[in-house]
Chains A and B, each alone.
Chain A
Amino acid sequence: MDIKDFIKKFRAEFEDIPQGSITPSTSIKDIEGWGSMHALIVVALADTEYGVTIKGEELKKANTIQDLFNLIVSQQK
């Protein structure tokens, strides 16, 4: 998997995020309107698309999109 593909999938989950506004260095918490519901959707995405279970605490430690991507990759067997 590559990060471009991940960003595409990430964006597809959220209608309200403007096109092209997400890059690997984007700070997750600074995405406009980011909340607990978005976090849950990310966990579901990781599970369905990548077969990975992300824990709440791990997700909190991921600051950027790159961190989140790395977290998912590290969990894949």
Chain B
Amino acid sequence: MAFFSVENINLLGIAAAVPRNEISNYDYDFLNESERKLLIKTTGIEKRRAVLNSGITTTDLGMAAAEKLLKETNTSKDDIGILIFISQTPDYLLPASSILLQNRLGLSKSCMAFDINLGCSGYIYGLSVIGSLMNQAKIKKGLLIAGDISSISAVREDKSVYPLFGDAATATMLEYNTQADKMHFSLQNDGSGYEAIIVREGGVRKPLTKESFLIEDLGNGVSRAPRNLELNGMDVFNFSVTEVPANVIEFLRETSTTVDSYDQFIMHQANLLMNETIRKKLKFPAEKVPYSLSKYGNTSSASIPLTIVTELGKKVSGNVSFLLSGFGVGLSWGTVSLKTHNLVCPQLIEL
């Protein structure tokens, strides 16, 4: 297990943006009423946001969140020395979306910018990379932008994917500060599970053809095309409820902390059954484990910062000790502990 610490880095603020269009799973008439009821009860997902045909991209949402955050934290654009964009739904195959954002946000040409291709675990990995680089190069301020437009690759006739995912992007502002508490990380992955969550066609291994768009009925309420997002719910469930608690328990041991050492445990928002199974295994009290699932669904790498913005908001004034855990596509997972002091959390932005 990759276990390490990052010094001198503070989280200043988090902002999140979602598309205005709301989709209710109560209206998901691809399922009958009892199936729908069971789906909502089990996943905990009632509503989600989706860009639909608005043309909004991940960088559009990320940009709105970043601009708001720059303003609310009174950060000068010239101080931003690094921008990292975490997403699996970039604007173009190339160039990297982070570089587009550098220009659109009016950041300096000496601000380094690059993308990281990760999903549900991305926020944790992103914090580790941006924190390490900022500490190493003593960069004053950094922007971590994380999110996905998952609705673009989900097909309505796939009940194992469509009702779960929502679109969102978030911006996190970090600063170099020698007074900052250490952030501790534990990062893991297992490529043998690469097929558990996958978009099979559209990359170089299987380039797009006409057939990539042909939707096939695979039975049991699942129809999709090879270009669509595919998810093996059972494999993802077993992976998550096994590896995540094990990772967190090891993390607590390594850091000589316990569940009581943390004010908030924010998990990637996958589905309620899975998240609650993990929470109960770790014996975290429910009041320390907020969920944004019911309103926004699974928002990939945006889910942890989005949950902090929508569920904690004003509760992040003063000192807060966080334990954050992301897990999913890859398979990839990781945990970070960090402390915030009057974290700036502006209200959710709707585009």
A binding-site residues for B, Cβ under 8 Å: 16, 33, 35-41, 43-44, 47-48, 53-56, 59
Contacts and interface: CB of A to CB of B under 8 A. Distances in A.
A48 B275 CA distance: 12
Specify the main secondary structure of chain B where it touches its partner.
helix
B34 interface: yes
Interface string B261-287: 000000000000110010011000000
Interface of B: 34-35, 38-39, 42, 160, 220-221, 232-235, 237-238, 241-242, 273-274, 277, 280-281
Nearest to B236: A40
Nearest to B245: A47
B196 to A, nearest CB: 11
A41 B42 contact: yes
Contacts of B35: 33, 35, 37
A40 B273 contact: yes
A47 B241 CA distance: 8
A33 to B, nearest CB: 6
A38 B241 CA distance: 17
B277 A47 contact: yes
A11 B152 CA distance: 38
Given A40-B42, A56-B235, A48 B221 contact: no
Contact of A40 (B34, B220, B221, B234): B234
B234 A39 contact: yes
Contact of B238 (A37, A38, A41, A53): A53
Contacts of A35: 35, 38, 220-221
B238 to A, nearest CB: 6
A55 B220 CA distance: 19
